[in-house]
Amino acid sequence: MKYKNRKTKRYQFLICLAALSIISCSTVKKDNMTQTKSTASPAEQGVLFKRSNLVVSDMDRSLKIYRDILGFSLNSPIEVSGEDSYSYPVFKIPKEAKIRFVTMDTKTQVRTMALTEVTGYELPKPSIPLMSALVIKVDDIVATMKKITALGLETTALKAVPGDSYNYKEQAFIDFDGHLIVIYELY
């Protein structure tokens, strides 16, 4: 009887642990996107990569790449930033420049990327070696790169990489403002 009682208590304990783990996370659905949202406080969540933000000279031209070719969707309308925008000191943008800003989603991630357009000030050319890159998964690398090449952008050769668990192909291009973008396809 004693053994059975211990076993029942252990079973109840495990059920409580499982219930707590289910309760501690909730699912948030926005349009067709599902994300798991922790109920832990922001201080308890640890490191979280929120988004990359590219400074560009022409928002509409950049959207031809990021929205029309790579498939990001606008999370909100393009906004004109005020004079007190945090982007001025963060990106060291002169106050005489004008700023517009937009965040973008993927099918599975909300606000994973942003574009900050700076006009009224000439953006510097990137230095060599390039210091950073965005790495983005696509469904069809050949079709995607065909569209990128049609824009006249600098590209690298396609590279196929065999792996133990999966194989992938990757190729890079430099966008209109000098940002290095590496795309890949799993196969």
DSSP 73: E
Ranges of each domain in the chain? 49-124, 125-187
Q: What's the pLDDT at 41?
A: 79
pLDDT, one tens digit per residue, over 39-76 is: 777 778 788 888 999 999 999 999 999 999 999 999 99
- Token pair listed for 76: 């909100």
Tell me the C-alpha distance between 70 and 183, whole Å: 9
pLDDT, one tens digit per residue, over 109-164 is: 999 999 999 999 999 999 999 999 999 999 999 999 999 999 999 999 999 999 88
pTM score, two decimals?
A: 0.76
Q: What's the pLDDT at 175?
A: 98
Domain covering 49-124, topology: 2,3-Dihydroxybiphenyl 1,2-Dioxygenase; domain 1 (3.10.180)
Topology match between the domains 49-124 and 125-187:
yes
Q: Class of the 125-187 domain?
A: alpha beta
- Token pair listed for 181: 């973008």
Tell me the C-alpha distance between 67 and 60, whole Å: 10
pLDDT at 99 over 80: yes
For residues 3 and 160, the model is more confident at 160
